[in-house]
Structure 1
Amino acid sequence: MTPRSLHPLRIANFRAYWLSRFAGTIAISAQAIIIGWQVYGLARETMEIREAAFLLGMIGLVQFVPLFLLTPIVGLVADSVDRRWIVRGTTALLTLNAAMLGLLTWLGDLSLPFLFGAAMFVGIARAFSGPAYSALAPNLVPRESLPTAIAISSIAWQTGTIAGPSVGGLLYAIHPDVAYLTISALFVCALGLMFLIGPVPQPPVQKDRRPLHRILDGFAYVRSNRLVQATITLDLFAVLLAGATALLPIFARDILHVGASGLGFLAAAMGIGAASTALWFSFRPMKTNVGVKMLIAVVVFGLAILTFGLSKIFWLSFVALVIAGGADMVSVYVRSSLIQLHTPDAMRGRVGAVSQLTISASNELGEAESGLLASLLGPVGAVVFGGVGAIAVTLLWSRLYPELRLAKTFDPPDILETPPIHGVAQP
């Protein structure tokens, strides 16, 4: 366990970072569930369930497209510009976006085009903030404290994921204006906390390298490091196939019949499992057989999603999502620790951008895939297909990437002391 003197929460800058991420995650998670509920509600006024499900899935697509297009740029920005100011700027823009949604909801002028436009704006802001956030955390703590910092940072994210949908769903059930006012206030808190973080070390910009070459270095590093590549791609395909979050409004409204408040609990379920697992890792960091444990966790994730898809009972669906969230947190913990510890600081922004692209592909693009499959197979068929697919991908990856199966610890190779240039040395 990390010595008390080195615990990340004893560091003022990390505490401000943690609280900012916590408040921001609550806000963005609450806003996401409300946008989904509003889109589905407007769509169901004129569409059947399958048509509305397809439209619901398209929310993920409009968030993924800008992130996909901006990935080469945002990683370079995170390695070239003060990461604190990137997060501050994007949080300010997210605050304005939430305030505008709240105003239009109050005026009764919401429309599907505007909701999709707001979702795309969120995708652009997250494209820039994601790599900056992930690359900033290692600059705030000593290297030996990083695995614990990752677990604690995940608690902020996952606890925010728990509270966000619950806050959004319950407050929206009280009154939409109250929900959007709370979201805007939380974004303001997140912004203020980011201003409390003092100057932090950041690697110097490689001025002898052309921007295009520096962009390609991030992709080259991921391609050459098969262990990092394996963790990123496994998470990509498993969650891409088995993501069920986009379809939660359908299950809440038309399958489990629990309404907006029930939707809040379903959306929080995975966060409950994930936060509990992250809390465990913050006290008991994983130290041995990390690769095998990740493979097992993804199989459990697939089985839990399969159970959720087949369930018609609210409590069973809730428990299945809690288990899925806990298993997914194991995968997130292993992937994040390996990426952060196996990547030179000078490249963390660019490698983080590649990682974020795959995470967004699995989440937002996964929502589009879920919506498309739901329009073809129905929502239950789409979720069941995804759960089986995640298990199959895990078994295949255990054969394609023996490096992952054989990974015992998070210990990085000594070669990371020098950032790779061009053809990137094989760790």
Structure 2
Amino acid sequence: MSNMHLGRSAFSYRNFRLFWIARMASMLSQSSLVIALGWLVYDVARRSMDVREAALQLGLIGLVQFVPMFVLTPLTGWMADRYDRRLMAGWSCVAQLAGAALLAWLVHDGRGTLMVYFLIATLTGVTRAVYRPAITALAPNTVPRALLPRAVAANAVAGRIGAILGPVLGGYAYAVAPYLAFALSAALLLLSSCALFAMRGMERQPFDRNRHPLRQMMDGLTFVIRHKLVLGAISLDLIAVFLGGATALLPVYARDILHVGPAGLGNLRAAPAIGALASGLWLSWRPLQGQVGIKMLASVAIFGIATIIFGLSRSLLLSLACMAILGAADMISVYVRQSLMQIATPDEMRGRVGAISSLFVSASNELGEAESGFLAAAVGPVMAVVLGGVGTLAVVALWARWFPALRNADSFDHEPARAPVS
């Protein structure tokens, strides 16, 4: 590592400041939209369905957002390495803005139906398939490599600030007037796209234009499979959040178990982000030193334990505490995963590797929402959450055994691995 940048903050670089604003605004928007759309779909469904059938609709919302990610990610990852990442992320925000504005109009005029909401959720999944690999690969281009771990932590803080305030703003705006939550989401996406379009002059590694595009798309997957440290970190986060995704069922808990309404739902949704923000701020000031792999495994285990206790809780205060602990543990896991992935991956492949990571994140979030909804429909929401936490603990034990490279990872001070050439 070069020492000339170590005393500087990532925020001393203009492009990173703009990137951070764009990241925070988009996360505020997405978090607000998720909370509002989840409550809207569940509330509309409960007018004609019982609890389990309505919970199934929440699962379907997650599924229709995941399918476009699964189909389009290889293409959008390749695009993020070939084309301007800044413009890809910016125009995808504009497209998401159009969807949020359409939702605001439909809800305001009372013209929406479950089918229409599912269609808009599907289109949102398409736009996020473009946004995620571009924004993931863009971050390392905004600061020198020596500052990348600090930038990762600061970037995560932006995401967590968005995840804290977004649900609160969305929940309270929905309580005032449902359409306001979607209008707020659209306004925030406008800010995000403007910040992205204002970024200038970022250095990029040359892209090999002689290889066939299909082979280039496969290079990202080949790199992840061969690099056991990256594979272990990404897949651990995938399986743990997929199984332990209690957040997908928060509308059920808020409405039918804790009885706290849409405002309480916003507080429950924000609690994980509050815990994550606290740990993220600490990590941006004091990055992890030593045994980073063990610390990641321990944080995922804590995530599973907090999920189990939340599932059994009937107290709002205990539930909020569990969600905050869960979020703090998840923040550490995300920090380690992103730092290892960004530092180990050559810049010319970050779009494609970031696309694989985005697909894993989408699987753990959107597909995890579908799994939680389907399992809740089968065994009830409480048992679904508890079983997810137990499964997370089992995964930690298995990954510690199957991925010794992850278990033995001691620091982030690695040179980027070579890109596949076969």
What TM-score results when the alignment is normalised by the length of structure 2?
A: 0.98
Distance 1:271 1:384 in 2: 21
Distance 1:322 1:158 in 2: 12
> Tell me, what secondary structure is at the counterpart of 1:199?
coil
Distance 1:128 1:65 in 2: 13
Root mean square deviation of aligned Cα? 1.2
**Does the 8 Å contact 1:57/1:371 carry over to 2?**
yes
Give, in angstroms, the shift of residue 183 of structure 1: 1.7
Pairing partner for 1:92 from 69, 88, 94: 94
Pairing partner for 1:161 from 160, 163, 177: 163
Pairing partner for 2:353 from 351, 354, 362: 351
**Does the 8 Å contact 2:6/2:146 carry over to 1?**
no
Distance 2:5 2:295 in 1: 25
What TM-score results when the alignment is normalised by the length of structure 1?
A: 0.96
Distance 2:72 2:311 in 1: 34
Query: Which stretches in structure 1 are left out of the alignment for 5+ residues?
Result: 423-427
Distance 1:45 1:384 in 2: 27
**Does the 8 Å contact 1:88/1:195 carry over to 2?**
yes
Higher mean C-alpha deviation, range 187-196 or range 245-254: 187-196
Superposition map of 1:62-81 within 5 A:
62-81=64-83
**Does the 8 Å contact 1:63/1:124 carry over to 2?**
yes
Map Cα deviations across residues 164-205 of structure 1 (whole Å, 9 max, x no partner). Answer: 110000011011232222221111111111122112112222
Higher mean C-alpha deviation, range 258-267 or range 198-207: 198-207
* Count of residue correspondences: 420
Counterpart residue number, 1:268? 270
Counterpart residue number, 1:364? 366
Distance 2:182 2:245 in 1: 26
**Does the 8 Å contact 1:90/1:125 carry over to 2?**
yes
Map Cα deviations across residues 15-57 of structure 1 (whole Å, 9 max, x no partner). Answer: 0110111111101110111110010011001100001101111
Counterpart residue number, 2:398? 396
Distance 1:275 1:259 in 2: 25
> Tell me, what secondary structure is at the counterpart of 1:306?
helix
Map Cα deviations across residues 215-270 of structure 1 (whole Å, 9 max, x no partner). Answer: 11111000000010000111111111000111000000000000000000000011
Letter in 2 for 1:383: V
Query: Which stretches in structure 2 are left out of the alignment for 5+ residues?
Result: none
Do residues 114 (structure 1) and 113 (structure 2) align? no
Identity of aligned residues (%): 47
> Tell me, what secondary structure is at the counterpart of 1:6?
coil
Do residues 257 (structure 1) and 259 (structure 2) align? yes
Superposition map of 1:209-288 within 5 A:
209-288=211-290
Structure 1 runs (4+) greater than 3 angstroms displaced: 1-5
Distance 2:63 2:201 in 1: 36
Letter in 1 for 2:346: P
Higher mean C-alpha deviation, range 71-80 or range 184-193: 184-193
Counterpart residue number, 1:381? 383
Distance 1:82 1:10 in 2: 23
Pairing partner for 1:123 from 116, 122, 125: 125
Query: Per the alignment, do residues 251 and 2 of structure 1 end up closer, same or farther by CA in structure 2, a change over 3 Å counting?
Result: farther
Give, in angstroms, the shift of residue 6 of structure 1: 2.7
Counterpart residue number, 2:419? 419
**Does the 8 Å contact 1:27/1:164 carry over to 2?**
yes
Counterpart residue number, 2:339? 337
> Tell me, what secondary structure is at the counterpart of 2:372?
helix
**Does the 8 Å contact 1:82/1:202 carry over to 2?**
no
Counterpart residue number, 1:52? 54
Distance 2:175 2:297 in 1: 39
Letter in 1 for 2:17: R
Distance 2:4 2:267 in 1: 34
Give, in angstroms, the shift of residue 280 of structure 1: 0.5
> Tell me, what secondary structure is at the counterpart of 1:204?
coil
Counterpart residue number, 1:174? 176
Map Cα deviations across residues 135-160 of structure 1 (whole Å, 9 max, x no partner). Answer: 11101100000000000000111110
Distance 2:43 2:340 in 1: 41
Pairing partner for 1:140 from 112, 136, 142: 142
Higher mean C-alpha deviation, range 204-213 or range 135-144: 204-213
Higher mean C-alpha deviation, range 178-187 or range 306-315: 178-187
Distance 1:412 1:132 in 2: 23
Distance 2:4 2:398 in 1: 35
Give, in angstroms, the shift of residue 106 of structure 1: 0.8
